[in-house]
Chains A and B, each alone.
Chain A
Amino acid sequence: MKKNCEAAVHSVGGAAVIELTGEVDGGAAGVLNEAYEQAVTSGEPGTVVLDFAQVGYINSTGIALIVSVLARARAERRKVVASGLSEHYREIFDITRLSDFIEVFGDLGAAVSQLAGPAA
């Protein structure tokens, strides 16, 4: 049974977190784009975290959507990181080289604590 993509956006420190649930495929375009828009207009974050912990399926069209988000973020000089990917999708991030451009963390907590970083 298909689970449509949904997104929840919130801020943690200087980062915007987009928690995705469901399936990241062609049907996720509107949700992902709107979530990114909401994320970057509420506080001008330097980093956008894409959390995939509740995502069960990503297909090639979903990969293309992630590429589009990354391209836009880079143009806006924002960093994109990912968390919660399964081993399989982490491998796909490696094969497609997305992991060369998107730092991947095991879970959202690890991503957030890394972003908070040590005090300067």
Chain B
Amino acid sequence: MTSVARSAPRRLAAFAVPSEPGNERLALARVAEAVAASGLAPARLERLKTAVAEATMNAIEHGNGGRPEIPVDVEVIQEGDDIIVAITDLGGEHEPAGPVEEPDLGLKLDGEQRARGWGLFLIRNMVDGMQVRTDGPRHTIQLTMRAGGVTPVPRDGDLEGGGHEEEL
């Protein structure tokens, strides 16, 4: 009988951004930096960045109401082959990104759906997994992306992810 060792989750980064429009760019840049050594293929990194930006924008606008004094918390964890990004606002239960209605471009072009409403759709289509949970005011959208290939093993004293990691 063989057993497969699963590496312990490692925190690659944890940070907060003020709830101001445009700070989703800051979040995606920090996440990209944190996962740089994770083995994520460039195309999949671009997908993750788009999902992080959309989820953070949603947290800023819909969760925290664009109030800069309320932060959006972002945590990046690597668990085995999975990159997990958790984005938390303090808006309690709300839809992750605008209407639940599935965007239909034909309907939008005919004026039967509003032009906006792509955020959640993009997130779902960019990552391998998406979970939403609410704990009191804390509303978290968790994005999962499989790095694929071999996960780099850090050598002694060799910190990955820009030195922000810590074992959980």
Contact = CB atoms under 8 A, between A and B. Distances in A.
Contacts of A65: 115
B105 A97 contact: yes
B31 to A, nearest CB: 14
Contact of B109 (A61, A63, A70, A95): A70
B111 interface: yes
Given A61-B116, A64-B118, A101 B103 contact: no
Contacts of B57: 59-60
A96 B46 CA distance: 16
Given A2-B25, A60-B97, A88-B46, A101 B118 contact: no
A85 to B, nearest CB: 12
Interface stretch (B10-18, B47-55, B85-93, B130-138): B47-55
Contact of B53 (A59, A64, A68, A87): A59
B109 to A, nearest CB: 5
Contact of A92 (B50, B115, B116): B50
A105 interface: no
A107 B22 CA distance: 28
Interface in B26-64: 43, 46-47, 50, 53-54, 57
A26 B22 CA distance: 10
Interface residues of A, number: 25
> At the interface, is chain B mostly helix, strand, loop or mixed?
helix
Contact of B21 (A26, A67, A95): A26
Interface in A39-57: 57
B108 interface: yes
A98 interface: yes
A60 B109 contact: no
A88 B118 contact: no
Contact of A87 (B43, B109, B117): B43
Contacts of A98: 105
14 contacts: A2-B25, A57-B25, A59-B24, A59-B50, A60-B54, A60-B121, A64-B117, A64-B118, A74-B109, A88-B47, A95-B125, A96-B122, A97-B105, A97-B106
Given A59-B57, A64-B118, A71-B115, 4 more contacts: A2-B22, A60-B116, A91-B47, A97-B105
